[in-house]
Amino acid sequence: MKLQTEIPSTQHRELDLYPTEQLIDALIDDQFDAVRAVRLASPQIANAVTQALPRIRDGGRLIYVGAGTSGRLGVLDGVELTPTFSWPNERAIGLLAGGHTAMFTAVEGAEDDAQQGADDLRALNIQIQDVIILLAASGATPYVLGALQAGREAGALTIGIANNADAPITLEADIGITLETGNEIISGSTRLKAGTAQKITLNSFSSALMVQLHKVYGNLMVDVKPTNAKLVRRTINLTMFATGCDEAMAKDTLSQCQYHVKTAIVAILNQSSVLAAQARLLANDDDVRRAIQQKE
């Protein structure tokens, strides 16, 4: 089977002769195919969120598996969940063919080892509640297919994401998401629009999941983990925006609850103590909106 992501494009055959401005325009314009591909896959992405949600609520983990660019994008998505949504590090795990070294340096041949993919996944003691996101532009990377087989054997939810139609990863996973980005402007360079489409898909999937886990109030990032000065400032701004209070009240309330924005919002809007706000959140599945609306 010929992979569309590997077939040279019939457009821009003299790309190497383009002046710089034309070259940049061509590279940027080609990325719009990525957005269109993800938009067409929206129903499948929504289904993945729906199927993943009960497992994650039951304590499952998000486990990303990939090689090369795809694997690095998976690692990135998982890592960013902690500062953005206070998601526990141990519940967002990235498996990259070639191990940690491959995050920074290409490890030749690592993606061709299906057994290693299966072994790496099994080493995590996979449970039925886990959600495994399998990424490969080709859709046929042996390392990822090995992990897919091991994930299915364990009864975990498997989500396959590929950039070619009828790919083994999407056909064999519980949920297949095909992002048909077509030929790359630089033939075979799937770090371009194939990678962009995967990044958009991962952003959409994990962000939607976090919203439905009550880590967003309105459109505010209320479960942010303030690990640096910029994020501490963000917690203050978010609290002021959500409640209409002044900076002094926001800082004072946040200082009483270790800068947990959700608690500060509930305490200020309900004119209650931090302890009472924490109790309300606990009683309402950490949902800010329900905690505010709860009757005495």
DSSP H or E run through 98: none
Amino acid type, 135:
L
Q: Beginning with the edge strand found earlier in the chain, give each strand of the sheet holding 92-96 in spatial order.
A: 92-96, 62-66, 131-136, 157-162, 175-178
Question: Coil, strand or helix: which one is 44?
Answer: helix
Sign of CA dihedral 111, 115, 117, 119: negative
Give the containing element (helix H, strand E) for 133: strand 131-136
The active-site residue, picked from 6, 21, 80, 172, is 80
Neighbours of 180 (CB within 10 A): 17
State the catalytic residue, choosing from 14, 90, 108, 111.
Answer: 111
Interatomic CA distance for residues 172 and 176, integer angstroms: 8
80 counts as catalytic: yes
Residues belonging to the active site: 80, 111
